[in-house]
């Protein structure tokens, strides 16, 4: 019993002496963690941003896309544009933004300014130079690098798109920005042309069809008039019937005169003359009636259905042509109303100072993040150590 108690007492006596050594080991571990998480990254960041990182210049421009419409919302820039007879074309600025960030825009920039060669210049630091560590020189890799250099920020409130181009010489940044604006203007011109073609072409085709129909109807009516020697059967029938009416009136008058002579002086020689005249008038009335209402194909009555059909077709064709012409004018007006313009608010500037990298801020950011990481790792290590003990 005495030996066991002495051994237990000896263990308790040794424990306080062990604490300082564990604390020193913990401090040494924490020092190593501080070096790994704070000191080393801050030193590396200081060397990179202070001595290695290349100066980057940013050229900025601002523009809006507008159209000659009067549906702009009141207030702000919209009121200003609507006061000039133009409205903001908010939905049409997205194609411009997509084009700026497209491979087509990159191809045009490379053909005009040789941007691939510029971004691969040996004076650019190894982290920002193209190609990167993977040594991928493909067009897709260059496109991914290009997208990182372009910032197209659209403000939906003011409908202003701010274009920022990042390059390693001020001239290249400005020239790239200017070329992207010109390419965007050409894009809008192409959209205008396609819209005009889509709106006007259909209306023009309808006009051509209506003109052809009207021409065919006119020619058919003219051929019928020439063949049948008739201009308007209905009008001619009315004139013809007026003549028949006069003949009938004269016939009735002659018959009455002849009847009166027969009753008063039957042997009067004028009776025979009047009888001959009555016969002539009856034949004339019958002949004229036959020209109007006869069953023969040469009668006006027989020619009227064909004429009415052709005249009706010509009337429909003329009305269709009038409608088509009105639609064409409306389509042209709509095409003009939908014309899009790129209005520059701020021209691309020539930067006189490198805006990136922000050296001091970047180093401080690394330092603060290292401190946060050091605190988290230290707490974890201390917790694990305490749990193990």
CA distance 314 to 214: 6
Task: Classify 19 as helix, strand or coil.
Answer: helix
- Residue at 194 is within a domain: yes
Q: Report how far Cα 150 is from the mean position of its chain's Cα atoms.
A: 23
Q: Residue 167: pLDDT above 70?
A: yes
Average pLDDT rounded to a whole number, residues 281-298 = 59
Alpha carbon distance 66, 70 (integer Å): 11
**Domain residue limits at 313:** 228-335
Is position 278 within any domain?
Answer: yes
Whether residues 159 and 273 share a domain: the answer is no
Band (pLDDT 50/70/90 cuts) for residue 101 is very high
> Is 146 in the same domain as 237?
no
Residue 167: asked if its preceding bond is cis (omega within 30°), the reply is no
Total domains, the chain? 2
CA distances from 78 to 68, 81, 124, 315, 344 (A): 12, 5, 43, 48, 15
pLDDT at 1 over 60: no
Instruction: Answer yes or no: is pLDDT of 77 > 50.
Output: no
Residue 26 lies in a domain: no
The whole-angstrom separation of Cα 168 and Cα 54 is 7
Q: How many Å separate Cα 235 from the centre of its chain?
A: 56
Q: Are residues 292 and 355 in the same domain?
A: no
Within 10 Å of residue 93's Cβ, how many Cβ atoms? Answer: 24
Give the pLDDT of residue 28.
62
What's the pLDDT tens digit per position in 222-279? 666 666 556 555 555 555 556 566 766 776 777 777 777 677 776 666 766 777 777 7
Q: Do 106 and 250 belong to one domain?
A: no
pLDDT, one tens digit per residue, over 178-191 is 999 999 999 998 88
Mean pLDDT, rounded, for 291-307: 54
Which domain-ending residue is among 294, 318, 335?
335
pTM of the entire predicted model:
0.60
């Amino acid at each position: 019993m005495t030996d066991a108690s002495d051994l237990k007492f000896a263990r308790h006596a040794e424990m306080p002496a062990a604490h300082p050594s564990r604390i020193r080991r913990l401090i040494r571990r924490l020092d190593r963690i501080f070096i790994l998480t704070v000191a080393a990254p801050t030193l590396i960041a200081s060397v990179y941003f202070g001595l290695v990182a290349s100066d980057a210049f940013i050229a900025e421009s601002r523009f809006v896309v507008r159209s000659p419409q009067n549906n702009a919302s009141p207030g702000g820039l919209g009121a200003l544009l609507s006061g000039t007879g133009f409205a903001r074309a908010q939905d049409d600025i997205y194609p411009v933004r997509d084009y700026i960030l497209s491979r087509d825009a990159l191809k045009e920039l490379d053909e005009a300014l040789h941007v691939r060669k510029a971004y691969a210049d040996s004076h650019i630091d190894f982290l920002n130079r193209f190609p990167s560590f993977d040594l991928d020189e493909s067009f897709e890799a260059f496109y991914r690098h290009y997208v990182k250099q372009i910032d197209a920020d659209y403000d939906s409130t003011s409908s202003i798109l701010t274009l920022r181009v990042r390059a390693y010489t001020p001239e290249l940044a400005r020239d790239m920005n200017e070329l992207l604006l010109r390419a965007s203007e050409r894009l809008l011109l192409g959209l205008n042309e396609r819209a005009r073609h889509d709106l006007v072409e259909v209306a023009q085709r309808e006009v051509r069809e209506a003109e052809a129909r009207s021409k065919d109807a006119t020619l058919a009516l003219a051929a019928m008039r020439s063949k049948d020697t008739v201009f308007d059967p209905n009008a001619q029938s009315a004139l013809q019937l007026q003549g028949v009416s006069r003949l009938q009136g004269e016939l009735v008058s002659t018959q009455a005169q002849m009847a009166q002579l027969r009753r008063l002086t039957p042997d009067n020689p004028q009776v025979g003359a009047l009888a001959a005249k009555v016969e002539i008038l009856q034949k004339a009335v019958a002949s004229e009636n036959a020209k109007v209402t006869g069953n023969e194909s040469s009668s006006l009555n027989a020619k009227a259905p064909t004429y009415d059909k052709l005249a009706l077709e010509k009337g429909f064709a003329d009305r269709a042509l009038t409608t088509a012409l009105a639609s064409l004018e409306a389509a042209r007006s709509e095409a003009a109303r939908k014309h899009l313009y790129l209005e520059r608010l701020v021209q691309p500037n020539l930067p006189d100072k490198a805006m990136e990298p922000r050296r001091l801020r970047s180093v401080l950011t690394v330092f603060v993040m290292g401190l946060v990481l050091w605190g988290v790792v230290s707490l974890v290590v201390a917790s694990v150590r305490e749990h193990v003990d």
